[in-house]
Every structure is written in C-alpha cells, then in structure tokens.
Structure 1
Amino acid sequence: MKASTIAEREARGRAAREHSKRSSHRTVGELHRDPIALLRQSSEGRVENLVPLRYGRMAVSPFTFFRGTAIIQAHDLAQIHDSGLTMPICGDGHLMNFGGFATPERQLVFDLNDFDEVSTGPFEWDLKRLCASLVVAARHMRLSRSTAEHLVMTAATEYRERMAQYAQCGALELWYDRITFDRMAETALTPERRRTVRRAMEKAASRTHESLLEKMAEHDGAHWHIRDAPPALFHILGANTLFTEEEAAVFKGNDWRKSLAPMWGDYLKTMSHDRRELLDHFTVQDIVFKVVGVGSVGTRCLVLLSVDHMGKPLFMQMKEARQSVVAQFYKPPHGKHAHTAVKHEGERVVQGQRMLQAASDIFLGWATGPQGRHFYFRQLRDMKLSANIELFDNDLLEGYARLCGWIMARAHAKASGQAIEVSAYIGRGDQFAEALTAYSTSYADQVERDYDVFLKACRSGELLARSDEDMAADFRV
C-alpha cells in the first residue's frame, strides 16, 4: 500500500473538521443519566467490604469524586460528536495521573502513569479529561474562574504547539523523546522553580525498594513479613483481612504460594528471556493486599515482596485489570474497527502503557489469576513521585498545566503516529483551546451537580461511605 504524503495527511486532518468542527468541542451535550447507577455499575465485582472506602475517598471533595468517576465522563463523552481521529488514549488522563519515575537507565522522567482505562478512542477524550480536571481542581483550591480558564488554555495551547513540533519529527525521534526532570528544569520559569524541581528529584531518588522495605516489613530471622496497616494493607488470610469468607476461599489452606504459582508462571511467559533470568535471582517472602488510589479502590491489588541473595528487596504490584471505560462507551463509526478484540485486559494495559509512555517499567507483564481475573504486573514504587497540587501556587500550577499538555501531546504522537493529522485538525489558532475551555467550565459544573447527588446518596444511606480513619478504627494493629 502506498504511503500517504505529508500533504495528504494534513488534508486528512483538516477534513476531520467537516466531520466535527473545532468549536463543537465546547458542548457537554444533553446528559440524562443517573450518576449513582453508573457508580454502582463500576463497583460491581470489587471486594465487597472495600466499596464503602471507595465512596468515602470520593466523598472528600468534588475533585476526589471526579478522580473516581472516569466511567461517568466516558459515558458523557460518548453522547457527543467526536473528531474521528482515533488512537491509543490513556482514558483517565486527569492531572493526578501524571508523575515522575525512573527509566531502566535510572534517569528521572515525567510522564503519564496510570493506564487502567487505556483503549482506542478519539484523541480529544484524553484532553477533555485533563482540562476538566484542571477546572475542578482549581475550584477545589478556591482559585478564580479566570485562573481556572487560564490553566485550561495553557494546557491546550501547549498540546497544540508540541503536537505541531511532533508533526515535524521522524518516527525514531518521536520514539526516543523523553521529558526528563533536567528538561523540565531548563524550561522552569525562575531559579526558585528550578530549586523546587531539584528538591523533587532528590525526594524521588530516595523512594527505592530498600527504603520501602524499612517502612513496610520486618524480619523474623528467616523471612521478611509485610506489616498489616488496614484498611490500606492487609494479609488476605490474616486477622485483619477485609475479604469475606467467600472472597478469601480461593486462597484457602493458607498456602497462597500454591494458589499464585500458576499466575506467576503465566506472568513469566510475558517476560523476555533476560527479565526472566533477572527475576530468577529473587525469592518470594510475603504477599499482601493493597488498597490503591480513588477510582481503583476495591479492585484486587496484591503486593509481592521478594529478596535476592544479598537480601536486597523487590516489591512487585499485581493489579487487577478490568474492562476499560473507554471501550465500554466509545462506539467507532460503522465499518471502522477501532477496537481490536482484547483477549486479555492485563495485556491491554501493558501494551497501552508501552505505547504511550516514553520509557516503561522493565517488569511490566500480565497474567490470569484466581477465578479467571486478569492482572498486570509492575514494580510497586521505583523512584516514583506525584505532585501535591494543593501546595502549588498559581505560578507552579500554570507550569504543571503546561507540562501535562506537553506530556499528553508526546504520548499521543508516539502511540498513534498521527501528529500530522491531529496538528492539522487543531490548526494554529485558539479556536480548539477556547472550545476546550468552555467545555471544561461547563463540565466542572456538571461534576459539582453529580457530586451533590452522590453526597445525598451517601447521607441517606443509599450508598455506604466510610473514610480510611473510620475503617482503621475497626482494627487494632
């Protein structure tokens, strides 16, 4: 098949405007749905006793509610016209799903870091999730409407400008492009900002497996054991478990090693030969259940502690992979196969992460676990760093919005190979960014209305919501 010329690809991008005007992206659409029904749908199949904790974490603010409701926004985006420019998208690219971590070469980079919802979808769905999160967060921080709008314009404009640059790049240039902390420091606004980035790098460099071992585990003379810290961390068959008898039955006999042996073997098959050899240096010590994030609370997430011959630790996270909310709601045009048949949800997450990230964890892999559930594997924490936006001033928040726009453009350009088409669609003016700003303001209003409905359901007892503190009080560890 003859390759398209750059001019033909630019024309294809501009032609998408006929299908979906750039100004059309300002609309939220007519939303007739019950947010509680969608929430219940996304809670199905989770660990029963952890669903109230999920709701408790979401109840803290409209922003935490927004973080836990990717399903609602995906549903809502499916009600309105899309650009037709589809590609692998993160599916949950809100501003807290960006962060710093180490590459295999031990270089600190900043990138997207959550891919549970990755799938094929319109490129602007990711941008709308990011931009709406900026407005919801700005309101949570009591910032002005003009500040919130400026943050969206900043992120959207950076995305446009970076995508135009990536449209000029060769395939290998795109593949090798990394947003390192050093590059961030170079583009920081002031020497004070550079100092902030340096401090963040120092903090991240100290967050290693060894520092985690001291905090999380103790040695009994023969083995390491991870300490329970319920509700966030507990042994499935221990005294502090939050599993029901029925849920824990799959691990019965107190031999979790035997229960998980087939899963580990399954995972190793997804690793290259050198990674399998490396993992062979480690001996398993303990495994616990870990409660993660806001939207993921109640999905199965296990932490496996192993040590090598020198007693040096490796913490692996085995996280349940469920169907992407994008895949649930995005319906490609007739005859266009946007979704290849996903045989394994863990594989979907891993392949999506490898495509969208500049550099991925060397231990990424997938397996089928007990009861046929799908999981993906990664290191628990390796020089990882996330932003505490509530401590940001306006200046730093603006820089962060710019960084997120840049990261998203790099991810989309690399994963899709469609930087030319997307850049041509957006154009050089502010029309698309202004439409996203209007959308984000309107959608933040909708989030606040949904949050009020959610709080009423919690207060009336329709939904049971419990905080971490409430649940921790049930235990004496």
Structure 2
Amino acid sequence: MKSSTIAERQAAGRAARERSKRSSHAAIGDLRRDPIELLRQSSEGRVSQLVPLRYGRMAVSPFTFFRGSAILQAHDLSKVQDTGMVMPICGDGHLMNFGGFATPERQLAFDLNDFDEVALGPWEWDLKRLTASLVIAARHMRLSRGMASTLAMSAVTAYRDWIRKYAEYGALELWYERITFDRMIETALTPERRRAARRAMEKAASRTHESMLEKMAEQLGDGWQIHDAPPGLFHVHGASTLFDAEDDWFKIGCWRKLTDRMYADYLKTLTYDRRQLLSQFVPQDLVFKVVGVGSVGTRCLVLLNIDHKGKPLFLQIKEARESVVSQFYKAPMLGHNGERVVRGQRALQAVSDIFLGWSSGPSGRHFYFRQLRDMKFSANIEMFDNDVLEGYARLCGWVMARAHAKAGGKAIEIAAYIGRNDQFAESLTDYAFACADQAEKDYDRFLKACRSGELEARTDEDMAADFRP
C-alpha cells in the first residue's frame, strides 16, 4: 500500500476545516440534559457506601466538581461537530491529571498520568478538557478573567507550536521523545519556573515505596500489615470495612481468595523479565484505597509485597470501567477495559510503568495494575504565582502535543488543521469560558440536590468520625 505524501497529509488536515471550522470550536453543544441523572449513571456499580464520599469531594468547589464529572463534558462534546481525526486520547486531560514520575532509567519525567477514560476519540476533546479546567481553576483561585484567558491561550498555543515541531520528527525520533524535569529546567523562561521544577524534583525523589512503608504499615511477626485509616484506607474484610455484608467481594471472606487468580492472570500480561522480577516479592497484605475525586467508589486495591531484603513494592489494582468517551463517541474499542487503559497509557505516555498490566477480578470486573508510588508528583497549583501557573499551562499543552503526536501518528494533519495563527486557540479559549459557565450552573444544581437530599454527600471528616470511639 502506498503511503500518503507529506503534502497530501497536510492537505487532509486543512480539508478537515470543511467538516469542522476552527471557529466552530467555541460552541459548547446541546445542553438539554439532567446533570444529576448523568452523575447517578456514572455512580452505578460503585461501592454504595462510598458514593456519598464521591459527592462530598465533588461538592468542595466547582473545580472538584468538574474533576469528578467527566461524563458531563463528554456528553456535551458529543453534541458538536468534531474534526473527524480520531486517535487514542486521554479522555480526562484536566490540569491535575499531569504529573511527574520515575522512568525505568530512574529519570524524572513529566507526562499525562491518568488514563481511566482513555479511548479512541477526536483529539480536540483532550484540549477542550484541559482549557476548561484551566479557566475553572483560575476562577477557583480568584484570578482575573484576563489571567484565565492567558492560561487557556498559553496551553493551546504551546500545543500548536509543539505539534508543528513534532510534525517534522521521524517515527523513532518521536518515540524516544521525553519531557524530563532536567529538560523542563533548561527550557523554563523565568527563574521562578526553574525553581518550581527543582522543588518538584526534590519532592518526587522523597516519594518512594520505602517512605510509604514507614507511614502505612507495621511489621507483625514475619509479615507486614497495612494500617486501617477509614474511609480512605481499609481492609475489605476487616472491622473498618465500608463494604455491605451482601457485597459479592465481602462474601469471599479472604483477601488471598480475592486476588490470587486475578494476580496470576495479571502476570500473563507482563513480559518474562517483569514476571521474574515480581517472583522475588511475597504478597503481605491487601487494602482498599479511596483515590481521587472521579474514581471514588470504584474498586481500588493496594497490594503490599516484600522482597528477601525486606524492601517493599506497593502495587495498585484499580478497577477499569467503560470510558465516558466510549459512552458518547462510537468508535472501535477493546472488550476488556483494563487492557484498554494499559494500551492507551502505553500509546500516550513517553514511557510507562514497568509493572503495568491488566486482569479480571471476581464478578467479571476489569482491573489494571501499576505501582502505587514511584517518585510520583502532582502539582499543587494553588501554591503557584501567575508566572509559574502560566508556565504550567504551557507545559501541559506541550505534554498533550507529544502524547497525541506519538499515539495518533497524525501530527502533520493536526498541525495543518490548526495552522499558524491564533484562530483555533481563541476559539478554544471562548469554549473554555462557556464550559466553565456551564460547569458552575451544573455545580449549583448539584449542590441543591445534595442539600435537598436528592443526593447524599458526606465529607472525609464526617465518615472518619463514624470510626472513632
């Protein structure tokens, strides 16, 4: 089969403007939907006693609500014309789903770090979620409208400039592209941004399996046991469990019965050398861990393993449900959601966790495995000044451009579609403000539902008090 020339691919990118004009991206979509009904839909199948905690975390601010309601934006985006350029996308690329982590070579890299919603979809959906999150976060931090606009524009123009550069890369050159912290420091435009990157490196370096063992577990005889800290951390079959007595998992009665087959099937998804490495660790204990905002109530486990020198390895076993992108954008998908997450992560990230794999658990639920902590770092944007925050927005745009260029192989087409001017960036900025307005309306409707009892919302502190004597 003859491959298209660069000129033909550029022409295809420009031709996509006929399907979806660059100015059309300012549109937010048909909003005739009930946000409460969609949120209830996304809560189905979760651990029932944790659904109120999910809503409690979402109720903190419009920003946390936006983080936990990816289903709403996916629904709305499905109502507007897309570019027709479909590829693996993150599906939930808001500004808090970027972060630092250690590569297998022990370099610190910065990349997308959450792939629960990964799926085939229009590339611009990722950018729209990112820009909207920047405007909503700016409002949450009481920044000016001008600053919010600057953040959105900075992210999209950085994406535009980098996707144009990546259009010039060869296939292997793009495959080996890494955005390391050292490189971030070298390219930072101001001393403040360089200092922020160095502080992040120092913090990430301290976040190791060994440091977590000291905080989370204690040695009992020849083995180790993780401390209960409900509602965020508890043993599925322990006294502090939040599982109902009739739950199929609780009825299993033993954590080893819960995970033995799942773990054996997971090992089959790894390469031989990774299986050999894991064979040097002995499982010690298993707990349920409540994570994030949007994931609260989904089944997420932490498995503590210890090697012959007493060194720990924490594996996270996280439930993979149907992507919100797949619910509203019909494209081919893998039947196993754990495999979907793993393949999507490997496609989009520059380099992925060596223990990334998937399996099925009791009752047919799908899961993926990864390290819980390996020098991982997330930005605390509320500590950033405006200059560092703008640098962070540009960094996120850069990361997203690299991810799309690698995963989709369509940097040439995307660069031609966007062009060199600011029209696309201005349209996405207008979209981001309209989306932020809608998110605030949905948040107000959500709060009314919580206050009226239509939805039950509880804070972490409220639920922790249930376990105090």
Q: Give the deviation of 1:251 after TM superposition.
A: 4.5
Q: Match for residue 42 of structure 2?
A: 42
The C-alpha deviation readout for 1:47-106, integer Å capped at 9, x for no partner, is: 000000000000000000000000000000000110111110000000000000000011
Instruction: Give the aligned residue type for 1:125.
Output: W
Instruction: Give the aligned residue type for 1:318.
Output: I
Quote the Cα distance in structure 2 between the aligned partners of 1:253 and 1:440.
Answer: 47
Which of 358, 366, 382 aligns to 2:350? It is 358
**Aligned-residue CA RMSD (Å):** 0.9
Q: Give the deviation of 1:197 after TM superposition.
A: 1.4
Q: Give the deviation of 1:253 after TM superposition.
A: 5.9
**Ranges in structure 2 where 5+ consecutive residues have no aligned partner:** none
Q: Match for residue 308 of structure 2?
A: 309
Quote the Cα distance in structure 1 between the aligned partners of 2:79 and 2:456.
Answer: 30
Quote the Cα distance in structure 1 between the aligned partners of 2:75 and 2:45.
Answer: 19
Q: Give the deviation of 1:220 after TM superposition.
A: 1.1
Q: Match for residue 299 of structure 2?
A: 300
SS of the residue 1:305 aligns to: strand
Instruction: Give the aligned residue type for 2:76.
Output: D
Q: Match for residue 205 of structure 1?
A: 205
Structure 1 segments (4+ residues) deviating >2 Å: 189-193, 249-255
CA contact (8 A) 1:92 1:114 kept: yes
Q: Give the deviation of 1:199 after TM superposition.
A: 1.8
Quote the Cα distance in structure 1 between the aligned partners of 2:8 and 2:217.
Answer: 59
Q: Match for residue 367 of structure 2?
A: 375
Q: Match for residue 214 of structure 2?
A: 214
Q: Match for residue 321 of structure 1?
A: 320
Q: Match for residue 332 of structure 2?
A: 339
| Correspondence list, 1:235-314, <5 A | 235-247=235-247, 249-252=248-251, 254-314=253-313
Q: Match for residue 22 of structure 2?
A: 22
Q: Match for residue 422 of structure 1?
A: 414
Which of 388, 392, 398 aligns to 1:396? It is 388
Percent identity (aligned): 75
CA contact (8 A) 2:116 2:320 kept: yes
Q: Match for residue 188 of structure 2?
A: 188
Q: Give the deviation of 1:29 after TM superposition.
A: 2.2
Q: Match for residue 437 of structure 1?
A: 429
The C-alpha deviation readout for 1:198-240, integer Å capped at 9, x for no partner, is: 1211110110000000000001121100000000000011110
Instruction: Give the aligned residue type for 2:348.
Output: L
CA contact (8 A) 2:234 2:287 kept: yes
Q: Give the deviation of 1:189 after TM superposition.
A: 2.5
Q: Give the deviation of 1:320 after TM superposition.
A: 0.2
SS of the residue 2:87 aligns to: strand
| Correspondence list, 1:149-164, <5 A | 149-164=149-164
Instruction: Give the aligned residue type for 1:96.
Output: M
CA contact (8 A) 2:216 2:226 kept: yes
Instruction: Give the aligned residue type for 1:169.
Output: Y
Does 2:83 align with 1:83? Answer: yes
CA contact (8 A) 1:108 1:180 kept: yes
Does 2:239 align with 1:225? Answer: no
Q: Give the deviation of 1:136 after TM superposition.
A: 0.3
| Correspondence list, 1:38-187, <5 A | 38-187=38-187
Quote the Cα distance in structure 1 between the aligned partners of 2:443 and 2:281.
Answer: 46
Q: Give the deviation of 1:123 after TM superposition.
A: 0.5
Quote the Cα distance in structure 2 between the aligned partners of 1:253 and 1:108.
Answer: 40
Instruction: Give the aligned residue type for 1:394.
Output: N
SS of the residue 1:121 aligns to: strand
CA contact (8 A) 1:251 1:259 kept: no
CA contact (8 A) 2:252 2:258 kept: no
SS of the residue 1:24 aligns to: helix
Corresponding residue pairs, total: 469
Quote the Cα distance in structure 1 between the aligned partners of 2:257 and 2:196.
Answer: 47
